[in-house]
Amino acid sequence: MSYEIFKINEELKEFMPQEIVDLEEKATWGNPKRGVMDLPYAKELVEEHSLCAGCPESAAFRYILASLPNPEETIIVNSTGCTSLVFPHIALHTVHSLFGNQNAIASGIKRTLEWRFPDKVKDVVVLAGDGATVDIGLDCTLQSFFRQEKITTICFDNEVYANTGGQESGMTVKGQVFKMAPKGKQFDKVPMWQLAIDSGCHYVVRMTVSSPKKVEKVIKQAIYVAREVGPTYIHLYTPCILEIGLNADQGLWEMRQTDKERFKFFEYMTDEAKEVIKRKKEEGLI
């Protein structure tokens, strides 16, 4: 519909919790130029987060939700893991169904919304951890790319199964000792960004979330390309400070370190994606 759905009946307003009233009055709706610079002033679309203190994933959530160009028509699909604990706090339609099926659910939602609302643009964005995206859900992830589903997939890579207590994942670096890898991981980190390119994604980025404005730009580009061309994939390093033994104030430091090495900013785009991004830039939307 539009951000009208967040309007509260005047007669009931005095009984509504402040955060719901703020959503109507102070959130940024109907403005595709919204972004991370609104964060200090606008009502955020994530109320609180249930992650550990200082978790970089919580920063990623805030930047992503602040950067959605069309939140009033955006559906978020998530999966099981640390991230799944955050979704009830998000003021948009979100889905959690199973562990690893997020891109399949998103495919069904996107296609049916296109059928039901042929005259509207509804963005479908998948937010899931590395276990959900790359291990248990790899089939559904890649198949949605093969099928050229017009969805944006964002992977929060913390290189570990954090929510279940710190087990090795496919995204753990080789040699790292975690639970279920007591002798250290025996094989390399899965090059998921490369798999996304080979599987047909039109816009692929690998980065940390150390720079909010950079995250905003990438998110907007990915969503605009997904809307018009096909699947897009963003791989974000959001370290699990708990499992690698850092303090609550060291997440940003960790990301800045890896910015220079294995999470050096990497961006890929097809010609069709380039064309969309160029046009959106000309329109002043990126």
Summarize as ranges the residues that interact with other proteins (CB under 8 A). 1, 5-6, 17, 19-20, 23, 47-48, 50, 72-75, 77, 84-85, 87-95, 97-98, 101, 104-117, 122, 139-140, 143, 147
Contacts of 159 (CB under 8 A, 6+ apart): 130, 169, 171, 172, 173, 176, 189, 237, 239, 240
In whole angstroms, the minimum distance from the beta carbon of 132 to other proteins comes to 12
**Least Å from the CB of residue 112 to other proteins:** 4
CA distance 72 to 2: 5
With respect to other proteins, which residue has the nearer C-beta, 23 or 207? Answer: 23
Residues with Cβ within 8 Å of residue 269, at least 6 apart in sequence: 202, 203, 204, 221, 225, 277
Shortest spacing between CB 213 and other proteins, in angstroms: 26
Nearer of residues 17 and 40 to other proteins, judged by Cβ:
17
Nearer to other proteins, 147 or 214 (CB): 147
Other residues' Cβ atoms within 10 Å of the Cβ of residue 175: 12
- Minimum distance, C-beta of residue 121 to other proteins, in the bound complex (Å): 11
Nearer to other proteins, 102 or 210 (CB): 102
Minimum distance, C-beta of residue 35 to other proteins, in the bound complex (Å): 20
Residue 139 CA to residue 123 CA, distance in Å, equals 22
Q: Which is nearer to other proteins, 142 or 205 (CB)?
A: 142
Q: Which of 230, 203, 220, 215 is closest to 285 using CA atoms?
A: 220
d(CA 153, CA 175) in angstroms, rounded, equals: 28
H, E, C per residue of 15-26: HCCHHHHHHHHH
